[in-house]
């Protein structure tokens, strides 16, 4: 299963990308995370449905100095499998 996730709130400049990578790695998920120019964070993540549910709950919580006000979750069809989890700049 693959999701594209957009997070809004206090999500840039607070270690959110690094938190997301560590969390994804701990669950064995694949994909990437990046900051967007409009202040949101975008995540593309792929893995087992049950594991993804736990990952999404962790993103709502975020790192200590973050605050997630809104999360947009879009299910996507996986064309090619993703490998590893990266931070994009």
pLDDT number for residue 78: 85
User: What is the domain-level CATH number for residue 46?
Assistant: 3.30.70.100
Domain count along the chain = 1
Catalytic residues: 17, 35
CB 36, CB 43: distance < 8 Å = no
Which residues span the domain enclosing 73? 2-78
Decide if 63 is inside a domain: yes
pTM above 0.85, yes or no: yes
**Token representation of residue 51:** 């594991």
DSSP 84: S
**Token representation of residue 49:** 């449905």
pLDDT digits (tens, 9 = 90+) for 4-42: 999 999 999 999 999 999 999 999 999 999 999 999 999
> What is the sign of the dihedral through the CA atoms of 55, 26, 7 and 72?
negative
Residue for token pair 């967007």: 36
């Amino acid at each position: 299963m693959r999701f594209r996730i957009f997070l809004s709130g206090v999500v840039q400049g607070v270690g959110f990308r690094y938190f997301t990578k560590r969390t994804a790695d701990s669950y064995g998920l694949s994909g990437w995370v990046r900051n967007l120019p409009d202040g949101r964070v975008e995540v593309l993540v792929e893995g087992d449905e049950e594991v993804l549910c736990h990952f999404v709950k962790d993103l709502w919580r975020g790192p200590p100095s973050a605050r997630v006000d809104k999360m947009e979750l879009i299910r996507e069809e996986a064309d090619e499998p993703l490998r590893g989890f990266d931070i994009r700049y």
